[in-house]
């Protein structure tokens, strides 16, 4: 899905490998980096990386979130024993991070260890992309919340069609010591940014010490669709999930189903006690169904977000539906109120509706007792090739399993079943 965050470890490893080539040998980065995971064997670590013993160290979590200093998740100037102890204390622990977009809770699993480098000045350097241009941002004031000193930031736009090698940086930089070196360095980094298909690269701060720039805190995103061009440049790379709640067993199961096929199967559990459950075909339609539940004031009752699309096989649709029904029918609403299953979708382009309903119908049939016990009401809306047969099969299913089930076709507005269900729920 295009822009994907990568670990600071991977970003620094990649840049350390590239900077020599892109600066004609003029610059080099320290490539002494270690990523500690739950599998890491500390005994081996010291053997493989003897510098851990001889250097002072910096340790921080490496899980795609920033503001680690503010969140007390940064260890500076430590020796190996202290670093190992610090990690051991935090590994596998749940923490809540205060970030730019509010609070996020997740489990710590990855830590980066690097040599601690005393330095003089801290700058801010970032590369961003927009439709018409890339922008190089530089400020002599780094290591702070950059928004608070944004007036010190110099921005250099590089139009999309411009030659990255001919970007004029020097004349645009503010006055800093050794300005020519800084400019040459920024230029080399920008060329890496372009060639490696970064979509975002931020150093806050990047230190300046003895004529050299050293990236301290690095945030990077790559365009993962460029993998076919960049596999060699990137080397082995992982695109971790954003920091946050770990996947539930059911979400992980749906992810394995999704990985098995060219079709798409997605499930995010929002509120297992919610009474509105979505089983919607199509990426675009699924968002709109969820929107409508929220917009009609039932966001708190929305149990899940998910979609199936791209013509999944009957077996996969069956497995997906079963997973959803299992979650939905674990326990009846404590107040005995009905639950609502919305089997929705727009008008399919080419997908055979009757065929995709086969797996759903199988699963519903299997769960008929639980559905009745949980007072589930089902609303169906779908159109597209062979929809009449599909809808008729659903109608007959409702009669067969004794679960209230209403069926609508393309003559009814796509999200009408949302308002029908929610009106019912309010009564």
Partner 1 sequence: MRADYELFTAETQAFIYGEQLRAAQRMLDFDYLCRRAKPSVAALITPERGGFEKLFWGTKEIRIPRVRSLTEAAAHFPEADVLVNFASQRSAYDVTVEALEIPTIRTIAVIAEGIPERQSRRMAALAKAKGKWIIGPATVGGVKAGCFKIGNAAGTMENIREAKLFRPGSVGFVSVSGGLSNEAYNIVARATDGLNEGIAIGGDAYPGSTLLDHLLRFEKNPAIKLLVCLGEVGGTKEYEIAEAVKAGRITKPLVMWVSGTCAKVLPGQVQFGHAGARADSAAETADAKNAALREAGVIVPDSFDDYGLRIKETYERLVKAGTIVPAAEVTPPNIPLDYAQARAEGLVRRPTNFISTICDERGDIHNYCGVPIDRVIEEKYGIGGVIGLLWFKKDIPPYAREFIDIVLQIIADHGPAVSGAHNTIVAARAGKDLISSLVSGILTIGPRFGGAVNGAAEHFLYGLRNGLSPRQFVDEMKKRNVRIQGIGHRLHSLENPDARVELMKAFARKHFRKTPLLDYALAVEQVTTQKKGNLILNVDGCIGVLLVDLLTELRFSDEEIDEMIRAGLFNAFFVLGRSIGLIGHYFDQVRLDQDLYRHPLDDILYDVPKAPEKVG
Residue 229 interacts with partner 1 (CB under 8 A): yes or no: yes
Residue 293 interacts with partner 1 (CB under 8 A): yes or no: yes
Q: How far is the CB of 286 from partner 1 (least distance, A)?
A: 8
Nearest residue (CB) to partner 1, 80 versus 414: 414
Longest dimension (CA), the chain: 81
Residue 137 interacts with partner 1 (CB under 8 A): yes or no: no
Among 1, 41, 148, 175, binds partner 1 (CB under 8 A): 1
Nearest residue (CB) to partner 1, 2 versus 88: 2
Residue 244 interacts with partner 1 (CB under 8 A): yes or no: yes
Residue 287 interacts with partner 1 (CB under 8 A): yes or no: yes
Q: How far is the CB of 178 from partner 1 (least distance, A)?
A: 31
Nearest residue (CB) to partner 1, 192 versus 214: 192
User: Torsion over CA of 408, 410, 414 and 420, rounded to 10 degrees?
Assistant: -30
Helix, strand or coil for residue 167? coil
Could you give the angle at which helices 249-259 and 314-328 cross, rounded to 10 degrees?
Answer: 170
Q: How far is the CB of 147 from partner 1 (least distance, A)?
A: 12
Residue 351 is given by DSSP the state -
Restricting to residues 349-388, name those near partner 1 by CB under 8 A: 349-350, 383-386
Contact 385/353 with Cβ under 8 angstroms? yes
Bridge-based pairing state of the strands 339-345 and 276-281: parallel
For 108, list phi and psi in degrees, rounded to 5: -80, 125
Bridge-based pairing state of the strands 376-381 and 339-345: parallel
Residue 66 interacts with partner 1 (CB under 8 A): yes or no: no
The residue length of the chain stands at 427
Nearest residue (CB) to partner 1, 136 versus 371: 136
Among 245, 368, 375, 395, binds partner 1 (CB under 8 A): 245
Residue 348 interacts with partner 1 (CB under 8 A): yes or no: yes
> Could you tell me which of 398, 318, 324, 397 has the C-alpha nearest to residue 355?
318
Residue 197 interacts with partner 1 (CB under 8 A): yes or no: yes
Q: Show the site string, 266-285: x = touches partner 1 by CB under 8 A, - = not.
A: x-x-x-----------xxxx
Q: How far is the CB of 349 from partner 1 (least distance, A)?
A: 4
Handedness of CA 171, 177, 180, 182 (dihedral sign): negative
Rounded to whole angstroms, the Cα distance separating 359 from 221 reads 38
Nearest residue (CB) to partner 1, 359 versus 383: 383
The partner residues of 103 in beta bridges, in order of sequence, read: 98
Among 82, 117, 219, 226, binds partner 1 (CB under 8 A): 226
Query: Which residues 6+ apart lie within 8 Å of 215 measured at CB?
Result: 12, 15, 29, 203, 206, 207
Q: How far is the CB of 227 from partner 1 (least distance, A)?
A: 9
Among 37, 96, 209, 225, binds partner 1 (CB under 8 A): 225
Contact 206/114 with Cβ under 8 angstroms? no
Rounded to whole angstroms, the Cα distance separating 287 from 42 reads 45
Rounded to whole angstroms, the Cα distance separating 231 from 224 reads 10
Restricting to residues 149-178, name those near partner 1 by CB under 8 A: 159-161
Enter the tokens of residue 181.
């070196």
Q: How far is the CB of 99 from partner 1 (least distance, A)?
A: 10
Rounded to whole angstroms, the Cα distance separating 236 from 34 reads 15
Among 135, 209, 256, 419, binds partner 1 (CB under 8 A): 419
Helix, strand or coil for residue 103? strand
What residues line the site for partner 1 (CB under 8 A)? 1-3, 101, 104, 129, 131-132, 159-161, 194, 197, 199, 223, 225-226, 228-229, 242-245, 264, 266, 268, 270, 282-288, 290-296, 299-300, 302, 305, 307, 309, 346-350, 383-386, 410-411, 413-416, 418-419
């Amino acid at each position: 899905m295009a822009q994907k965050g990568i670990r600071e470890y991977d970003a620094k490893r990649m840049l350390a490998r590239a900077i020599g080539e892109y600066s004609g040998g003029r610059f080099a980065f320290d490539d002494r980096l270690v990523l500690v995971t739950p599998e890491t064997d500390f005994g081996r670590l010291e053997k493989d990386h003897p510098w851990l013993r001889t250097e002072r160290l910096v340790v921080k979590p490496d899980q795609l979130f920033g503001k680690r200093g503010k969140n007390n998740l940064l260890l500076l100037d430590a020796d190996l024993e202290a670093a190992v102890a610090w990690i051991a204390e935090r590994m596998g622990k749940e923490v809540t991070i205060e970030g730019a977009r509010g609070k996020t809770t997740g489990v710590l699993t990855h830590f980066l260890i690097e040599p601690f480098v005393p330095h003089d000045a801290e700058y801010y350097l970032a590369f961003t992309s927009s439709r018409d241009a890339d922008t190089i941002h530089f400020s002599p004031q780094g290591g702070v919340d950059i928004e608070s000193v944004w007036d010190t930031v110099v921005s250099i736009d590089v139009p999309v069609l411009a030659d990255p090698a001919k970007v004029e940086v020097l004349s645009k930089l503010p006055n800093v010591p050794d300005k020519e070196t800084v400019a040459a360095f920024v230029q080399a980094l920008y060329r890496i940014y372009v060639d490696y298909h970064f979509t975002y690269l931020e150093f806050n701060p990047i230190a300046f010490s003895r004529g050299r720039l050293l990236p301290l805190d690095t945030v990077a995103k790559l365009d993962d669709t460029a993998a076919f061009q960049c596999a060699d440049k990137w080397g082995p790379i992982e695109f971790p999930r954003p920091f946050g709640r770990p996947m539930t067993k059911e979400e992980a199961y749906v992810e394995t189903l999704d990985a098995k096929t060219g079709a798409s199967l997605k499930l995010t559990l929002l509120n297992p006690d919610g009474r509105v459950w979505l089983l919607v075909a199509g990426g675009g339609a699924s968002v709109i169904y969820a929107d409508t539940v929220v917009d009609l004031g039932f966001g708190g009752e929305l149990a899940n977000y998910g979609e199936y699309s791209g013509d999944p096989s009957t077996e996969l649709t069956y497995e997906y539906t079963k997973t959803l029904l299992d979650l939905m029918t674990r326990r009846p609403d404590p107040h005995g109120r009905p639950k609502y299953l919305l089997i929705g979708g727009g008008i399919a382009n080419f997908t055979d509706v009757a065929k995709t309903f086969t797996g759903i119908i199988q699963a519903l049939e299997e769960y008929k007792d639980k559905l009745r016990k949980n007072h589930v009401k089902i609303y169906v809306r779908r159109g597209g090739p062979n929809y009449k047969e599909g809808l008729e099969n659903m109608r007959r299913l409702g009669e067969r399993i004794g679960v209230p089930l209403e069926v609508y076709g393309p003559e009814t507005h796509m999200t009408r079943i949302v308002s029908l269900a929610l009106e019912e729920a309010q009564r």
